[in-house]
Amino acid sequence: MIEHGRSVTQRSITFSALLLLVAATFFWVGTAQGVAVVSGVMLSSIFVISSGWILEAFQNADGTVFIQVYIFSIAIRFIVVLALFGILLATTKIDEIYFTVSFIISYLCQSVTEMILIHKFLQKSGS
């Protein structure tokens, strides 16, 4: 889906980059907190950017196939992000509170953006 020259993936990357810039300000609080917040934002960005890629890769597929692929991709992406989340917390000495809170906030913020982009995608494909 190209709208005004920018794809869903490009918009997701742009929004993720803005969130990373905001997250980088936590380095003023402390290095451990900055690393934790940036890591949380990056992890949620992986989930949302991959969603944009799925939208674009299957945008011309039949509606039923698209929904099946999209739902399957949600499950796979969720498992991968959950595994990465657990591995990161188990293997590093990252500030768990900052990481978890930044991941949840970033994920919710990016999920809203993802839903807006999906809505635009569906409106455009329906017309």
Q: Residue 123: pLDDT band by 50, 70, 90 thresholds?
A: confident
- Whether 127 maps to a domain, the answer reads no
Residue with tokens 């796979």: 76
> Which range of residues forms the domain containing residue 58?
2-122
Residue 116 confidence class, pLDDT cut points 50, 70, 90: confident
pLDDT band at 108 (very low <50, low <70, confident <90, very high): confident
pTM of the model: 0.72
- 44 within a domain of the structure (yes/no): yes
Please state, rounded to an integer, the average pLDDT across all residues of the chain: 82
- pLDDT digits over 12-55, tens only? 788 888 888 988 898 998 888 888 888 888 888 888 888 878 87
Domain count along the chain? 1
Instruction: Answer yes or no: is 75 within a domain.
Output: yes
Q: Which residue has the higher pLDDT, 48 or 8?
A: 48
In degrees, rounded to 5, the angle at the alpha carbon of residue 85 between the alpha carbons of residues 19 and 77 is 80
Query: Residue 86 domain-assigned?
Result: yes
Angle at 113 between CA 19 and CA 107, to 5 degrees: 55
